[in-house]
Amino acid sequence: MARARIAVVGAGLMGHGIAQVFALAGHTVTITDSGEAALESVAGRIRANLRDLGDDESAAERVRPCKSLAETVRDADFVVEAVLEDLAVKQNLFREIERHARADAILASNTSVIPITKIMGGLAGRGRALGTHWWNPPFLVPLVEVIGTQWTSAATIDRTIRLHAEIGKIPVHVKKDVPGFVGNRLQHALWREAIALVEQGICDAETVDTVIKNSFGRRLAVLGPLENADLVGTDLTLAIHRTVLPDIDARPGPSPFLEALVAAGKLGMKSGEGFRHWSADAQARLRSSVMQHLKKARASGP
């Protein structure tokens, strides 16, 4: 889409970053949020990010904050929702968006894990609705999962993939609308075993993170698991799975160890303790090292 009109609903962590990426690519963006503070601060947050990244700050001028949802979506070619992760809130919001948006506008949700079918099922025009799952921070992590439902038209998928490729993202097509799509299913399969290793006393939480960061984590950005399986051989992969898989955590629900942490108020960095203890300094160091790593990766290209 040459110079598209993009509407972003929700100006929080993800929404403001998504707006920034579209604006930097030359599109005009309207953005709204039900919270006054989020809406008032959105232009400043985008400007600060652009400055920090060395990107063209004037891109922020293409983002127009709007108080009303109707005004935000009225002229849009593409509407993306990034409000809180709550099914009922998203369902109601899309019903309202549908009342105000153009009939040919594409409607997308940035939900992390909720099936798009559940969010969009109540719409009259389900053929133009789909998921676009970005990763945080949207201006540093390249992937966008594009998720269709049984109703999504091929043209909607195609236009959405093209739009995201044109703004420099790496869109992938998720062909079945399953909870967690592809990325979060993989990520949380790993987290389940990481938690089980600690729960079973095999190692402590720090060791889990040290092992991953200093072993296959080093290779993951350039060697995916299935490339890796082909590299070592599918026969060796099969032999390893015969030995290891029967022993890996396969419980269908959350770990009782995780549930106990939450019940005890050990919520991670926001409470100072989760799997590990977190001083304010340690938190700042970790956040900074993640950002430095992602900036370097962006600078060296996809």
Please identify, using beta-carbon distances, which residue of 38 and 196 lies nearer to ligand NAD: 38
- List CB contacts of 58: < 8 A, sequence separation 6 or more: none
In this chain, which of 34, 41, 153, 237 binds ligand NAD, going by CB under 6 A? Answer: 34
Stretch that binds ligand NAD, among 32-40, 47-55, 225-233, 285-293 (CB under 6 A): 32-40
Residues 67, 195: Cα–Cα separation, whole Å: 43
Q: Coil, strand or helix: which one is 109?
A: strand
Q: CA 67, CA 295: separation in Å to the nearest integer?
A: 33
- Asked whether position 15 contacts ligand NAD by CB under 6 A, the answer is yes
CB-based contact 127:152 (threshold 8 Å): yes
Q: Binding pattern to ligand NAD, positions 74-103, x when CB under 6 A?
A: --------xxxx---x---x----------
- For position 12 contacting ligand NAD by CB under 6 A, the verdict is yes
- As a whole number of angstroms, the longest Cα–Cα distance in the chain is 59
Three-state secondary structure call for residue 66: coil
Instruction: Name the phi and psi angles at 53, rounded to 5.
Output: -90, -5
| Stretch touching ligand NAD by CB under 6 A, among 59-67, 120-128, 132-140, 152-160 | 132-140
Among 30, 49, 110, 132, binds ligand NAD (CB under 6 A): 110
**132 near ligand NAD (CB under 6 A):** no
Count helices and strands (H / E) in the chain: 13, 8
Q: Using the rule CB under 6 A, give the single segment among 22-30, 134-142, 146-154, 156-164 that binds ligand NAD.
A: 134-142
> Could you tell me how many residues of this chain bind ligand NAD (CB under 6 A)?
24
- Structure tokens, 226: 């299935």
Note whether 30 binds ligand NAD by CB under 6 A.
no
11 near ligand NAD, judged by CB under 6 A: yes
Identify which of residues 136 and 200 has a Cβ nearer to ligand NAD in the complex. 136
Phi-psi region of 35 (alpha: psi -120 to 50; beta: other; left: phi over 0): beta
Interacting residues toward ligand NAD by CB under 6 A: 9-15, 32-35, 38, 82-85, 89, 93, 110-112, 134-136
